[in-house]
Structure 1
């Protein structure tokens, strides 16, 4: 369903849309770069519902079925990436704080006063901004395979970085699925590789739902422009859990450790064999930490 949030149209899936979960604590899930709300696998969010939570997912702006920004002036990604690398300002049509305000707007549109906020990758960065800018709205923060954005942290493995800069293939479904599959194989959890038919099915589903490569590029610019978040993290006061894979080749584990170090009282957990994806065994491991953490945080506020 569409809601009006922060002045734009945002696509939302709400496990309590029928009103049956109105008395449950809410978990807001924020997905990462270029990923749609269906990027949260069923075996991640459905166990949260089974554990007694109301789960809200949404497409970030410029991705999926949410409002796009194709009208915005075009920017040269390579030039803006260079500016970010040398500490210069990055020109972007919107910021991660704008995207955090979108997430808060989703809660407003659904009449939700407070929520546990969980973000993955770029979604973790957005979730950090939500927790810092609206502390009265956030019961707890869980940041998964994300980063503080501090300068000097290690970047992607060179092979992954090179793949990120490669141009997209011809716009056919088969070529795009093959391209995405190749990238996933570079960043997936080495201890828990997904079977190819499952990956192809998920990639095809996402592609048919929405294909927004320009939105992905603008989201990358928003990440590059988010220069002050390392300092902003000190403002977070809610219970915080930081989870990171020890085998993450896209966002190395040092980024997760730095995130936890900058948030007072944050709990850091490393996951052996986990890369930068959410295969079923990894979801089981993550939820083994997340669900008790959410319940503990909920008890603190009761």
Structure 2
């Protein structure tokens, strides 16, 4: 079921729900400039076997309001939008799953709105904390010294994003996902191109979005609040992750009280078919345990 919710004056967000409406809600929060359809259908269906799954388009993506040029906003506003989605759909508390920037937004909710969460799962992201990372040998490393973004990704992100024709834009997106996929799993170019065509049709145009990379990222450190968080949190480690390599997932588990790490074999910074089943299984195991703890 699709519907729009009002997130702020002049801002409407597209949402979609699937699964049993009486099941525990699970909100999917995508990464920068990625609409809700960035969550693959097969993966959403796997989660919907046990949850009322909600995905939505961030503002300036998909069918949601594109407003940044007229009314710039900070990154933190995107976390407030996630709460607005829950409010608009009448959801008091939900499990949340955030990927990339979505994982950062999820941490903001863990820190600032824990009363709205049943659990959190973080994928392909970094900790919103200045706490040093303690390596297995006991040495402590500042977050800024953790492995950085793969140079191939940085080179792609440094390129200008011109508004060209549909074919050129699809080529750009496919190249982007090829690099984000990592080096451990085959890259299915045909599947990615088909998905991006669906996203273009859903959006109504193929213009590239850049609002989220230009939004003000200040005010996101949550060191103290994450250290005393009480939201059950799962940090997913991807061994092929080119944006936030594996130490970042373990750093998150050290930063957020009680968080644990699960590795998904082959996972990079994308969601190819091969990771759907193991990733969904890890999330469903996490949410099932947290639901039982809530009942007890």
Residues 6 and 154 of structure 1, relative CA distance in 2, 3 Å threshold: farther
Q: How does 1:178-257 map to 2 (within 5 A)?
A: 178-210=171-203, 211-213=206-208, 216-222=209-215, 224-257=217-250
Do structure 1's residue 140 and structure 2's residue 119 form an aligned pair?
Answer: yes
Aligned to 2:17: 14
Please identify which structure carries the higher helix content.
1
- Return the match for 1:53 from 51, 55, 61: 51
How much has 1:200 moved relative to structure 2? 1.1
CA contact (8 A) 1:122 1:223 kept: no
TM-score (ref. length: structure 2):
0.87
Secondary structure in 1 aligned to 2:210?
A: helix
List, as ranges, runs of 4+ consecutive aligned residues in structure 1 with deviation greater than 6 Å: none
Residues 154 and 212 of structure 1, relative CA distance in 2, 3 Å threshold: farther
Aligned to 2:103: 124
Residues 161 and 223 of structure 1, relative CA distance in 2, 3 Å threshold: farther
Aligned to 1:261: 254
CA contact (8 A) 1:95 1:226 kept: no
Secondary structure in 2 aligned to 1:246?
A: coil
Do structure 1's residue 176 and structure 2's residue 178 form an aligned pair?
Answer: no
How much has 1:212 moved relative to structure 2? 5.0
Residues 191 and 257 of structure 1, relative CA distance in 2, 3 Å threshold: same
TM-score (ref. length: structure 1):
0.85
| CA displacement 1:167-200 (0-9 Å, x = unmatched) | 1255111111111111211120433223221111
| Count of aligned residue pairs for this structure pair | 276
Give the distance between the partners of 2:68 and 2:234, measured in 1 at CA.
Answer: 35
Residues 223 and 186 of structure 1, relative CA distance in 2, 3 Å threshold: farther
Aligned to 1:68: 66
232-241 or 173-182: bigger deviation: 232-241
**RMSD (Å) for aligned C-alpha atoms:** 1.9
Give the distance between the partners of 1:165 and 1:42, measured in 2 at CA.
Answer: 30
Unmatched 5+ stretches in structure 2: 130-142
Secondary structure in 2 aligned to 1:139?
A: strand
Give the distance between the partners of 1:169 and 1:221, measured in 2 at CA.
Answer: 16
CA contact (8 A) 2:75 2:217 kept: no
Secondary structure in 2 aligned to 1:23?
A: coil
Unmatched 5+ stretches in structure 1: 74-92
Give the distance between the partners of 1:9 and 1:111, measured in 2 at CA.
Answer: 16
How much has 1:223 moved relative to structure 2? 6.9
| CA displacement 1:101-144 (0-9 Å, x = unmatched) | 11111111111111001111111111111121111110000001
Give the distance between the partners of 1:270 and 1:223, measured in 2 at CA.
Answer: 32
How much has 1:158 moved relative to structure 2? 1.3
Aligned to 1:87: none
